[in-house]
Amino acid sequence: MALRPVLQFPDKRLREVSQPIAAVDDAIRELARDMCDVMYDEPGIGLAAPQVGEQMRLIVVDTEWTEEGAEPNPLILVNPVITESNGTLQWTEGCLSVPDFEAEVERAERVHLEAEDLDGNAVEIEAEGLQAVCFQHEIDHLDGILYIDHISRLKRNRYAEKRKKQLRRELEED
């Protein structure tokens, strides 16, 4: 079975605001399983539905997993919302949708997240550090925001130009 491709900058679908999920059904559960497969295959520690072309408010996160063999234990969160945040930190972020680039981003140090699981149960998580950053990053995707929107315009424009050249070269090679 082929994995869903991860959309990459500058794909315009990454800029769309995702719709809330009214009810979890088998199609949503299958999408969540597919997203986990993609996340681990890439590899990454988080993935939002818009990154695989689905404009709905669904994220998968596993900040404990490593390629070195930790057991996958994904958090699958439906309609996640950060209801509280405090503190600030600088974190070097990367993104499966923003290839070949990392940058320092200012984020909240601690967040309170509310969501539902795939069974419709309410989920509340107090997160800090990497997990807090990951939640903020993935929820940004649901709102059409990329982490590069949090860096200086100069750095963002340099990346965009580099990416355009890279895509042109790839087209010429085909």
Q: What value does the CA radius of gyration of the chain take, rounded to a whole number of Å?
A: 16
Of all helices (H) and strands (E), which one includes residue 110? strand 98-116
The two three-digit tokens of residue 156, written as one number: 């963002």
Which of 73, 107, 77 shows the shortest CA–CA distance to 90?
A: 107
The two three-digit tokens of residue 66, written as one number: 């490593």
Angstrom distance (rounded) from CA 81 to CA 162: 33
End-to-end Cα separation, the chain, in angstroms: 25
> Is the CB of residue 109 less than 8 Å from the CB of residue 127?
no
- Report DSSP state, residue 19: B
165-to-26, 44, 89, 94, 108 alpha-carbon distances in Å: 41, 25, 33, 20, 34
Active site residue 128: no
Q: Which of 138, 170, 172, 173 is catalytic?
A: 138
Q: Which residues are catalytic?
A: 138
